[in-house]
């Protein structure tokens, strides 16, 4: 092989450069899977099993929205003996009051930007208004 | 050869004739049924006009009501001389629903508001109006029409009539902010969020969402409060004088129906045929 001394180191450098994102993320903290904070109130039970919530909480929210707004089905959901009104604000965020440490941790990781909180209020929003007035 | 062509033309002619006359034959054979149904309709119509002399008012002459149709009766007589109560009703509603107070009429958001007689009832003459109508404001809000024009024009079905209770509701998630509904609504009951409403809300009600820029909003007859067994916020605010009655217009035993049976009531712009569910005693 001609120019062995140039080609082989060149190839090695090329492969290293191309795979840079892989090994960089493997050794850096950037890839740490987010660990959302559990409800501050210490609730252990959710409206559905963990796997279902993780995979399709957005579908559930859409269903609830249509039930409440369109189908006039406002039947409360009961979790661990406590009743919640269907809805992001009235059910989910009653326990998960820490949106910044719960919702945002995964959404930021997955780079999804749901517009729920353009309208729905978080505990922080409500507290902020109370401070200024 | 010649004979064959002759035969062909004859057959073709006969077929064409049969084809043309087929609809006529069908119509003739089915005519008795048609005639009888037409006759029935006419009879029904006649009865309706006979029974309801005041058909233009839009109160009666409706088809047999089905299901629940929530409605409101505002007894203005109990609110005359009490502008504070009108403001109280407005404030209560707007607080419960996180309605911003923007402070100028161009971009204001209103679910329920006091307005002069000629604005609320433009179809009723206000020529030589009485002192009481001149000096008092009247409560205006979404009429939750039985034939809501806003619902007809909404291209995304973001606003719709809830069949279970007759409320004309909105799904803010779905509103694209085209404002067709604001053109459609003859009562000006809809407001558009020209800007982010949040800075203009004094205090949040954590039980209800706010809105975002670019959606239309209006009174929802307190659907979320009714679900909790509560009464509409405006009704509760003026409870001390009992000026507002709320209930099922289709239930002959409901309080609102009994009041409607007793008293002469008016609706806003009845001639438009929207069949409002909000009634007034003025």
Q: Taking 70 as the threshold, does the pLDDT of residue B48 lie above it?
A: no
Q: Please state which of the ranges A121-130, B13-22, B44-53, B163-172 shows the lowest mean pLDDT.
A: B44-53
**A72, A129, A133: residue with CB nearest B164:** A72
| Inside any domain, residue A33 | no
Which tokens belong to B72?
Answer: 């409101």
| Inside any domain, residue A101 | yes
| Inside any domain, residue A78 | yes
**B172, B203, B206: residue with CB nearest A133:** B203
Looking at residue A44, what is its pLDDT?
Answer: 86
| Inside any domain, residue B62 | no
Phi, psi at residue B231, to the nearest 5°?
Answer: -95, 160
Kindly report the length of chain B: 282
Which one, of B127, B76, B59, B28, lies nearest residue B282 by Cα?
B76
Looking at residue B58, what is its pLDDT?
Answer: 52
Q: Contact B31/B23 with Cβ under 8 angstroms?
A: no
Higher per-residue pLDDT: B149 or B28 = B149
* pTM, entire model: 0.76
Higher per-residue pLDDT: A109 or B64 = A109
**B163, B164, B203: residue with CB nearest A129:** B203
Looking at residue A30, what is its pLDDT?
Answer: 65
Q: How many domains does chain A have?
A: 1
| Inside any domain, residue A38 | no
**Domain co-membership, B132 together with B179:** yes
**Domain co-membership, B112 together with B249:** yes
Within an 8 Å CB–CB cutoff, is residue A127 touching chain B?
no
Give the pLDDT band of residue A133 (cuts 50, 70, 90).
low
In our burial notation (b when 16+ CB lie closer than 10 A, e otherwise), range B108-138 reads ebbbbbbebbeebbeeeeeeeeeeebeebbb
| Inside any domain, residue B8 | yes
| Inside any domain, residue A8 | no
Q: What CA–CA distance (Å, rounded) separates B171 from A120?
A: 13
Q: Which domain holds residue B197?
A: 70-281
Partners of A91 in the beta sheet? none
Contacts of A117 in chain B (CB under 8 A): none
Looking at residue B33, what is its pLDDT?
Answer: 52
Looking at residue B56, what is its pLDDT?
Answer: 47
**Domain co-membership, B168 together with B218:** yes
Q: Taking 80 as the threshold, does the pLDDT of residue B106 lie above it?
A: yes
Q: What CA–CA distance (Å, rounded) separates B94 from B200?
A: 12
Which tokens belong to B48?
Answer: 């309706």
Which tokens belong to B203?
Answer: 């205090």
Contacts of A77 in chain B (CB under 8 A): none
Q: Do A126 and B206 touch (CB under 8 A)?
A: yes
Contacts of B67 in chain A (CB under 8 A): none
| Inside any domain, residue B60 | no
For residue range A46-83, list pLDDT tens digits in order: 999 999 999 999 999 999 999 999 999 888 888 888 88
| Inside any domain, residue A96 | yes
**Domain co-membership, B263 together with B193:** yes
Which one, of B171, B256, B173, lies nearest residue B218 by Cα?
B171
Residue with token string 């978080």 = A122
Q: What CA–CA distance (Å, rounded) separates B35 from B276?
A: 35
What is the average per-residue pLDDT within B72-89?
95
Partners of A77 in the beta sheet? A84
Give the pLDDT band of residue B111 (cuts 50, 70, 90).
very high
Q: Taking 50 as the threshold, does the pLDDT of residue B54 lie above it?
A: no
**Domain harbouring B174, CATH code:** 3.30.70.20
Strand ranges, E, within B118-223: 137-141, 159-161, 168-170, 191-192, 216-217
What is the average per-residue pLDDT within B10-20?
94
Q: Which domain holds residue A65?
A: 43-113
| Inside any domain, residue A123 | no
| Inside any domain, residue B221 | yes
Q: How many domains does chain B have?
A: 2
**Domain co-membership, B103 together with B24:** no
**Domain co-membership, B15 together with B142:** no
| Inside any domain, residue A127 | no
Residue with token string 């009041």 = B259
């Amino acid at each position: 092989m001609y120019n062995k001394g140039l080609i082989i180191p060149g190839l090695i450098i090329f492969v290293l450069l191309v795979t840079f994102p892989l090994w960089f993320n493997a050794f850096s903290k950037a890839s740490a899977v987010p660990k959302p904070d559990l409800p501050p109130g210490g609730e252990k039970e959710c409206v559905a099993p963990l796997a279902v919530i993780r995979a399709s909480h957005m579908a559930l929210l859409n269903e609830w929205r249509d039930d409440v707004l369109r189908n006039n089905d406002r039947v409360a959901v009961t979790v661990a003996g406590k009743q919640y009104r269907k809805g992001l604000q009235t059910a989910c965020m009653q326990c998960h009051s820490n949106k910044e440490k719960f919702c945002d941790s995964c959404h930021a990781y997955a780079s999804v930007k749901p517009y729920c909180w353009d309208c729905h209020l978080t505990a922080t929003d409500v507290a902020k208004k109370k401070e200024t007035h | 050869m010649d004979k064959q062509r002759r035969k062909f033309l004859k057959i073709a002619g006969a077929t064409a004739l049969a084809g043309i006359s087929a609809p006529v034959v069908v119509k003739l054979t089915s005519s008795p049924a048609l005639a009888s149904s037409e006759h029935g309709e006419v009879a029904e119509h006649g009865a309706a006009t006979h029974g309801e002399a005041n058909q233009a008012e839009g109160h009666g002459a409706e088809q047999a009501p089905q299901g629940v149709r929530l409605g409101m009766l505002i007894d203005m007589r109990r609110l005359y001389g009490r502008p504070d109560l009108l403001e109280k009703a407005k404030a209560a509603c707007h607080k419960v629903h996180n309605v911003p107070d923007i402070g100028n009429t161009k971009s204001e958001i209103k679910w329920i508001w006091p307005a002069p007689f000629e604005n609320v009832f433009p179809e009723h003459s206000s020529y030589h109006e009485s002192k009481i109508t001149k000096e008092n404001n009247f409560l205006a809000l979404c009429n939750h029409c039985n034939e809501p024009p806003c619902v007809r024009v909404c291209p995304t079905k973001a606003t719709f009539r809830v069949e279970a209770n007759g409320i004309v509701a909105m799904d803010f998630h779905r509103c694209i902010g085209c404002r067709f509904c604001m053109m459609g609504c003859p009562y000006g009951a809809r407001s558009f969020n020209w800007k982010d409403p949040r800075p203009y809300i004094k205090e949040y009600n954590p039980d209800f969402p706010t809105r975002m820029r670019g959606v239309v909003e209006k009174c929802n007859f307190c659907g979320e409060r009714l679900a909790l067994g509560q009464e509409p916020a405006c009704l509760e605010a003026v409870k001390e004088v009992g000026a507002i009655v709320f209930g099922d217009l289709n239930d002959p035993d409901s309080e609102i129906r009994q009041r409607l049976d007793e008293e002469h009531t008016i609706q806003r712009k009845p001639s438009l045929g929207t069949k409002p569910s909000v009634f007034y005693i003025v």
